Amino acid sequence: MRNRIFKKSGEISESDSKYASVSGHADYVTTRPTKYRPWSEIAMREAMNDVYIHGVSISKSANVHGIPRSTLNDHILGKVLPEAKSGRPTALSFSEETDLVDFLLHSSSIGFGFG
């Protein structure tokens, strides 16, 4: 049986092998998935301004602002819109969702149960 050992990327040392033996079981050393899109939109705008205005290389700007180089490159080349959201589009618009919540809260407050 293989057990996965999760470590933060900074905690994995060169002595950690891909498969380590602990109590007779082969353990797989990996990193826990990081938060999706860990940079802010402000950092992305600043990184893009460094490239456009100050002539800084994409790699250097990406490193300074903590953005993956390929992601910054995609934004610079216009492959990704800055306001683009990942994933499927929502089934309800924001206003429809707000109206539904208001309706359900009102119905609940007058004793109309859903169930």
**How does pLDDT run across 13-35, given as a tens digit for each residue?**
545 444 444 444 444 555 555 56
Percentage of residues in the chain having pLDDT higher than 90: 41
In a domain, 52, yes or no: yes
pTM above 0.75, yes or no: no
In a domain, 99, yes or no: no
Q: Based on the domain organization, do 29 and 46 belong to the same domain?
A: no
Answer yes or no: is 16 within a domain. Answer: yes
25 and 50 housed in the same domain:
no
Length of the chain: 115
Do residues 29 and 47 both lie within one domain? no
CA within 13 Å, CB half, 70: 1
Kindly tell me the burial class for residue 75, based on how many C-beta atoms sit within 10 Å of its own C-beta (0-12, 13-18, 19 or more). buried
CATH number at residue 46: 1.10.10
Asked if 6 and 21 sit in the same domain, the reply is: yes
Number of domains in the chain: 2
